[in-house]
A and B are shown apart, each in its own frame.
Chain A
Amino acid sequence: AQTVTQSQPEMSVQEAETVTLSCTYDTSESDYYLFWYKQPPSRQMILVIRQEAYKQQNATENRFSVNFQKAAKSFSLKISDSQLGDAAMYFCAYRSAGNQFYFGTGTSLTVIP
């Protein structure tokens, strides 16, 4: 079974600074997708960014970018110019070939004004 590990239960960042959230995963599949989701206090899961495993280029969405290292099975999220609205739980997720999602344990991000 696939496993997703987020080793940082909590992180904090100063407003306007940059923070990197770590994620590693374990799989025997070669074709899969990776995601970062944000869950604010409302509990709504919001897609932040996605990465196809077959693409070598790292995905970027405005202030959010990933560092995808397929051989190392690492998928970190970088948030640049952090804003107060970025404060939330962040979940790394793996989507298998069978279209099932497996989530990490989450990282609680605090943005300090």
Chain B
Amino acid sequence: GAVVSQHPSRVICKSGTSVKIECRSLDFQATTMFWYRQFPKQSLMLMATSNEGSKATYEQGVEKDKFLINHASLTLSTLTVTSAHPEDSSFYICSARDRSRASGYTFGSGTRLTVV
């Protein structure tokens, strides 16, 4: 079945530094990937839609300059949290769309970001 690999699974960084999270579709091509943020015991909030070869579409309230998304190939999208602050600490999840499968969407296993 479709597999989405998300790396790293956990990362701790210092305030003011940047962190890059990778989302890879391992056995299918994903023209569209999605990035979500999940606070403890809360729902997933869509941050942005990442389209291969074009600019990401951000949801209202999400800072484009803070959460940089790059989707340079059909199997890789990256989310870079720039100048991270403790309030950016959260669980980030990506998902990718596999057009060849009926269920279509597969989620990565998530990244726990802690900013100290």
Binding site of A, secondary structure by majority: helix, strand, loop or mixed?
A: loop
Query: Is the CB–CB distance between A101 and B95 below 8 Å?
Result: yes
Q: How far is the CB of B102 from chain A (nearest CB, A)?
A: 8
Which residue of B49, B91, B103 is within 8 Å of A100 (Cβ)?
B49
A54 to chain B: closest CB distance in Å? 14
A101 and B43: CB pair below 8 A? Answer: no
Contact of A45 among B46, B49, B95, B97 (CB under 8 A): B95
| Chain B interface mostly | strand
Q: Cβ of B28: which chain A residues have Cβ within 8 Å of it?
A: none
List which A74-113 residues lie within 8 A (CB) of chain B. 91, 95, 98-106
CB distance from B6 to the nearest CB of A (A): 10
**Cβ contacts A25-39/B at 8 Å (1 or 0 each):** 000000000000100
Q: How many residues of A contact B (CB 8 A)?
A: 18
Binds A, one of B19-27, B64-72, B77-85, B104-112: B104-112
Q: Which residues of A contact B75 (CB under 8 A)?
A: none
How many residue-residue contacts, CB under 8 A, span A and B?
A: 43
CB contact between B46 and one of A50, A101, A106 (< 8 Å): that residue: A101
Query: In the complex, A44 Cα to B43 Cα: how many Å?
Result: 13
Known: A44-B107, A105-B42. 20 other contacts (CB 8 A): A43-B93, A43-B110, A45-B44, A45-B93, A47-B103, A47-B105, A50-B103, A91-B43, A91-B44, A98-B49, A99-B97, A100-B49, A101-B44, A101-B46, A102-B46, A103-B43, A103-B45, A105-B43, A106-B42, A106-B43
A-B contact pairs, 12 of them (CB 8 A): A37-B107, A42-B109, A43-B38, A43-B91, A43-B109, A50-B103, A100-B46, A100-B49, A101-B34, A101-B46, A103-B44, A105-B43
A interface residues (Cβ-Cβ under 8 A, vs B): 37, 42-45, 47, 50, 91, 95, 98-106
